Amino acid sequence: MALLTEPLGGTIALEGARKVRGNLTQARIRWMILAMVLGFGLVGGRLVQLGMVVPDHSIEGQTRDVITATRPPILDRNGLEMAVDIRVPSLFAEPRRIIDVEEAVRDLRTVLPDLKEDWLRDRLTGDKGFVWVQRELTPAIQERVMRLGIPGVDFITESKRFYPAMSEASHILGSTNIDNQGIAGIERHMDSENVALLQDLGLARGNALAPVELSVDMRVQHVMHEQLSDAMTRYQAIAAAGVMMDVHTGEIVAMASLPDFNPNEPATALVKDTFNRVTSGIFEPGSTFKTVTVAGALDSGAVSLTDQFDARFGIRFGRFTIGDFHGKHRILSLPEVFKYSSNIGTIRIMQAMGKDNFREFLTRMGFDERVPFELPEMRLPAVPETLSEVGAATVSFGHGLSVSPLHLVTAYAAFSNGGNYVPPTLYKRDATEAQQLYRRVVSPQTSEAIRYLMRLNALEGSGSQMNKAAAGYRAGGKTGTAEKVVDGRYSSNKVTNFFASAFPLDNPRYAMVIMVDEPKAENPQSGTTAGWNAGAITGRIVQRVAPMLGIAPDFSEAIDLNLVPPALR
């Protein structure tokens, strides 16, 4: 070690010490680099190994990896559990280890009498290393079988999906099969998003998977499901369905369809008519579609809110004449056409726009294609590719085409939120993310006019029953009563009713579509048109869920007056 000095107060440096420190630092850096290289190498090797895994689809191969694999918990938007995994015992046997098959059969049937004797004997005979005997047993049954002490018979703890809310959100959640794999609903969609792959690779055991948060609010879901159940009894309907959507983010807040099923018992989904009518049912939307026609015509500039239309006489197409259900037989202003749900006036509005422009507008609104949505249960709408004169006339008031309630609620959301089409989703989505998906379909001025018309219909038109039930929340919308086709002809006594709406219309936040299939009159004083059932259900739902969603009632008439566009003041 050399000691170096500098004259006249210079610094003193220990050359050997600096060199030693330098060597130590370099050595540490080399070790760190080596450790990092080894670490990345191990991770890379593991990834390559996982990538080369070929799943074993034999029952023996599945026993440890797949059937013990878990699925991520599903939560609603407030963190409430909608689907969780529970652990259940399943009974298996190793036939080659069973000493006395007849004795094993006899003893097992004392605890599991439902097992067929011949089937069980065949099951336990041979030299197989693994066979299922019965899966998903209760702990009590497990205890009784264990007391039998049969050699070659044992248990595996499996993961079983459990849905705490039973049937309330069944069409959203779907269900899983006995191997805990998604077969319907969001469960199936999650598998398409790699949950199944993680299970195959053995990376989904225990509580390894993060919860999946949905956009659904189970408080609102409960109210909607309860009201639809009530409607089935109150109106003796054969089916009812509803969907509510955040108009700004596209988040589905609630969605229910009855008859439904209990996802804890997947076999109940096989009962007739338990399909999801919101996504996989398509229907003639009736007069709810007049809102689409009016929005398209207003946005095209072909008509304005101050225009008037001759509705004194029906419109003839060859041998056919189209009239109004409750005709006024006079000239109607555009708001009156909407309020009185005039077929004649709506046809004239469409004709002012032009049938080809009208058809193009249907494409712009997404009525030609599947709604971009997570649920696999989805049907394409049935809309004619080209429209004849009479075809365009009937489609303008909601006949001669079929769309799903999901299509309809997405259109109403766009009409209410300022004119932006936003794809619906069952996952949580914030406003910034949603705005990146916006596609403008109508102008803000058209959106303002449609909000006014929907509120007008609630105050003075066919939405009055809805408005009574939702007083203070400024809901509005349009009724639709569509005759069903029976034996190739429209039936006058079998109808499907709709109410498509949004609230609160002074600051729109939610759009909703309620459907009731083949309703009967609630009492001699009521009718069977949509305002009496689908409209009333909408009002009752709004009245109960608005406070939950942070919307306060306000009975000030000034709010409704402010919704009137300047051209009509």
CA distance 220 to 549: 9
User: H/E/C letters for each residue in 362-420?
Assistant: HHHCCCCCCCCCCCCCCCCCECCCCCCHHHHHHHHCCCCCEECHHHHHHHHHHHHCCCE
CA 418 to chain centre: 23
DSSP conformational letter for 518: S
DSSP conformational letter for 195: I
| Token pair in block for residue 494 | 């079998």
- With contact defined as beta carbons under 8 Å apart, do 292 and 363 qualify? no
SS3 34: helix
Q: Can you give the pLDDT at residue 489?
A: 85
Q: Can you give the pLDDT at residue 11?
A: 43
Q: Can you give the pLDDT at residue 52?
A: 47
Query: How many angstroms separate the first and last alpha carbons of the chain?
Result: 99
Q: Can you give the pLDDT at residue 297?
A: 98
Q: Can you give the pLDDT at residue 422?
A: 98
Give the Å distances, CA to CA, from 461 to 323, 452, 458, 550.
19, 13, 6, 28
Write the CB contacts of 256 (distance below 8 Å, at least 6 apart in sequence): 168, 169, 171, 221, 224, 225, 228, 241, 242, 243, 278
Q: Is the pTM of this model over 0.85?
A: no
Label residues 203-240 b or e (16+ Cβ within 10 Å = b): ebeeeebeebbbbbbbbbbbbbbebbbebbebbebebb
CA distance 483 to 496: 6
Q: Can you give the pLDDT at residue 54?
A: 43
- With contact defined as beta carbons under 8 Å apart, do 218 and 169 qualify? yes
Per-residue pLDDT of the chain (569 residues; tens, 9 = 90+): 443 444 444 444 445 555 556 666 677 777 777 777 676 666 555 445 434 444 444 444 444 555 566 888 999 999 999 999 998 999 999 999 999 999 999 999 999 999 999 999 999 998 888 999 999 899 999 999 999 999 999 998 888 899 999 999 999 999 998 888 889 999 999 988 766 666 555 555 555 678 999 999 999 999 999 999 999 999 999 999 999 999 999 999 999 999 999 999 888 887 888 999 999 999 999 999 999 999 999 999 999 999 999 999 999 998 889 999 888 999 999 999 999 999 999 999 999 999 999 999 999 999 999 999 999 999 999 999 999 999 999 999 999 999 999 999 999 999 999 999 999 999 999 999 999 999 999 999 999 999 999 999 999 999 999 999 999 999 999 999 999 888 888 887 899 999 999 999 999 999 999 999 999 999 988 888 999 999 999 999 999 999 999 999 999 999 999 999 998 98
Residue 294 phi/psi, 5° resolution? -65, -40
Element (H, E) at 320: strand 320-322
Question: Strand ranges (DSSP E) for 35-129?
Answer: 74-75, 81-93
CA distance 539 to 555: 15
CA distance 187 to 84: 11
